[in-house]
């Protein structure tokens, strides 16, 4: 079982509330989303594992059980072309839960006309594989978001 923790401090809102049909329809996979506190922030690794994909606006960490967790920082933030994002690790690095991966400014993302809401998705997870999914309420960095069997 993989415990996925929050990469950000903010409010858990669930995937259905994400302003993007690809995420809200769980087309990428099941999970939840965090509406982060506004201002400078560090997005941290939600699990221990290997960074297999790394972009300024998104990263995937695969744990030792082969579970890939996507953290997508904001919606349509790929259009910012990395502006306002700083990578703190490299693709291929091993990271530990809670280790900072990307530094970004959620307020600047909003000022640029994008949503800072950040989906946290279990890639290729089977139907019903997630439990204890945080769908609402305050969440601090490192607190549980969901369990993945």
3-state secondary structure of 100: strand
Residue 14 token pair:
């669930």
Residues linked to residue 42 through DSSP beta bridges, in sequence order: 103
Residues 6+ apart with CB under 8 A from 11: 34, 35, 136, 137, 138, 139
CA distance 39 to 24: 25
Q: Looking at 55, 57, 67, 72, which residue is catalytic?
A: 72
Active site residue 72: yes
Residue 61 token pair:
């960490």
Active site residues: 72
């Amino acid at each position: 079982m993989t415990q996925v923790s929050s990469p950000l401090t903010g409010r858990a809102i669930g995937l259905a509330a994400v302003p993007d049909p690809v995420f809200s329809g769980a087309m990428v996979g099941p999970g939840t989303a965090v509406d982060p506190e506004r201002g400078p922030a560090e997005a941290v690794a939600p699990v221990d594992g290997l960074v297999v994909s790394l972009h300024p606006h998104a990263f995937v960490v695969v744990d030792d059980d082969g579970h890939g967790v996507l953290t997508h920082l904001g919606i349509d933030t790929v259009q910012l072309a990395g502006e306002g994002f700083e990578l703190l690790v490299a693709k291929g690095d091993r990271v530990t839960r809670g280790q900072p991966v990307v530094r970004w400014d959620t307020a600047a993302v909003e000022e640029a006309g994008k949503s800072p809401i950040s989906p946290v998705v279990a890639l290729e997870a089977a139907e019903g594989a997630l439990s204890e999914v945080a769908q609402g309420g305050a969440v601090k960095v490192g607190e549980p978001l969901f369990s993945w069997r």
